[in-house]
Structure 1
């Protein structure tokens, strides 16, 4: 065989090798995680590690400490490392176009979406329907209070986060259909307990010591846990004097529910990575393109659902 023929054969062999789909055990995936601002977020990280281990995927997690600039740095670092794919839980919805154009490898969004301008820059998004979550919360409140006039205060999530925008949108849609429901105060609590407590304290002071507040709607349970503490310190009985409805279904909200201090929560499953990993493996192994949106289930829990039992079961998930 001539040298030219040998070189052509070697080139063809190399091309064939690179064309072979990677198996799950060969995959390395970089995960730019928002941080650990809540119990739910910590559980998502823990479950992601468990799901990756089940599939023998090497999952590299970078904690962004709730800063977009840290996420952008992490993505560029993953690209430089030559990972097979990137998981991104975006801290805010905008500002991703430039870095995602640099990726040139599959990107999967977890838990949160990005602005429509970036739709072509990721493979799929594994999220709940956060508008629907807000609607479920609003419908529970409307049904619970009936025709009674009800002043609601709202603890919003991080400003600019798609999930905060959508949970507000869904709740507001229901409120608009019920003239007896009125959101009298709404402010961000940044998805944290400390900030939720601080903002709730200001709401209580502004609303006649809390006496004119009928219910609190929080975009996540951690802010609600902080709000419950603020209510107790103000001499109020959360869950009785003031109704509570929040989202995520983390263990501590069930502890509060068991104590009669919380009324309802809408579950956001922490297992976003499982469906995302399955999608990436199928894409790499078989060239199967997943749907643009993989939706997870949202479920309402109340005190009728044996909160102590739910608390015990959820503690094992890494919250």
Structure 2
């Protein structure tokens, strides 16, 4: 098989979401990394959406941003103010407060980490602005802080990776290359993976979801854990950094050290096809259309599911070049 469906069920309510239109407004004093509305024209009837993206740390994040911007357009009924937080929580908190001051219709954001949001989330709630979480989740004492969340099942992604390792390399000595510490993607992928793998992990370090830091972490791991023979990387970019570190050390990635990753962006799938990765669990970033439908329903006051799971797949080395070339992200 080229790829297999993960055992997940998409929330059926997405298919019937309202087509009511929405909008978001810009700021006279934009936060770092911010952009104004996606296009000009009369935005009086559009839904004003303030969206804070956590950064641009990976190919996945770039694809997710592109999907969101391509769907939250004036033509689709939105007036979007977009802020790139550059992987800094303080930038996101400033952006969220700016959105409150701008009196947007809806606030949406992908939190860089899970904790530290209590005060600003309470401010959003007090302002009676509906909040939508995208991709990542929060750990907060604020009661019922958001209307809905949309994203992937990170815990299941970790389980899926672990199940492949357990079936194909049950005695592997595993180094776990983790994402940004404290993020939902890091904690949940680790939880799901360890749930299946148990004590096979001999070492771990964070690569912060970037290729450069993933390379540095694996360089250190080669010295600290010379007998490791499998790397589980929490995203493709760190896995590609691991490839660079292994090759520089005279090792053959995918052979001497197996590599399992999460994301499924084109560069990662190419490494899989080329035999440098062994298995890739998809985390689909292209759900901007689903987010747009969800925001329309929120603005219309409709009942929406508390969670919407984006359907992912998983890929092995039988993947074809034709499939990779047709990939949109």
TM-score, scaled to structure 1: 0.85
Give unmatched runs, 5+ long, in structure 1: 1-20
More helix by share: 1
* Alignment pair present for 1:277 and 2:299: no
Counterpart of 1:205 in structure 2 is 223
For 2:86 and 2:155, the matched residues in 1 are separated by 25
**Is 224-233 or 254-263 further displaced after alignment?**
254-263
2:314 to 300, 303, 313: 300
Counterpart of 2:25 in structure 1 is none
* Alignment pair present for 1:247 and 2:235: no
For 1:248 and 1:118, the matched residues in 2 are separated by 31
Aligned CA-pair RMSD: 1.7
For 1:106 and 1:311, the matched residues in 2 are separated by 38
Number of aligned residues: 285
State how 1:146-157 maps to structure 2 within 5 Å.
146=170, 149-157=171-179
- Tell me the CA shift for residue 58 of structure 1: 1.8
Instruction: Decide whether the 8 Å contact of 2:273 with 2:319 is kept in 1.
Output: no
- Tell me the CA shift for residue 217 of structure 1: 0.1
For 2:137 and 2:97, the matched residues in 1 are separated by 19
Instruction: Decide whether the 8 Å contact of 2:106 with 2:299 is kept in 1.
Output: no
Instruction: Decide whether the 8 Å contact of 1:157 with 1:219 is kept in 2.
Output: yes
* Alignment pair present for 1:168 and 2:182: no
For 2:315 and 2:67, the matched residues in 1 are separated by 21
For 1:89 and 1:78, the matched residues in 2 are separated by 14
For 1:119 and 1:190, the matched residues in 2 are separated by 30
Larger radius of gyration: 1
* Alignment pair present for 1:310 and 2:323: yes
* Alignment pair present for 1:114 and 2:138: yes
- Tell me the CA shift for residue 116 of structure 1: 5.1
* Cα deviation digits, residues 187-235 of structure 1 (max 9, x gap): 1110110000000001111233xxx122100111110000011001111
Instruction: Decide whether the 8 Å contact of 1:97 with 1:121 is kept in 2.
Output: no
Instruction: Decide whether the 8 Å contact of 1:137 with 1:246 is kept in 2.
Output: yes
Instruction: Decide whether the 8 Å contact of 2:68 with 2:289 is kept in 1.
Output: yes
For 1:87 and 1:111, the matched residues in 2 are separated by 10
1:39 to 59, 72, 82: 59
Instruction: Decide whether the 8 Å contact of 1:111 with 1:272 is kept in 2.
Output: no
Partner SS, residue 137 of structure 2: coil
State how 1:1-319 maps to structure 2 within 5 Å.
23-24=21-22, 26-53=46-73, 55-103=76-124, 104-115=128-139, 117-118=141-142, 120-146=144-170, 149-176=171-198, 182-208=200-226, 212-285=227-300, 287-306=301-320, 308-314=321-327, 316-317=328-329
- Tell me the CA shift for residue 22 of structure 1: 7.0
For 1:234 and 1:258, the matched residues in 2 are separated by 22
For 2:295 and 2:307, the matched residues in 1 are separated by 13
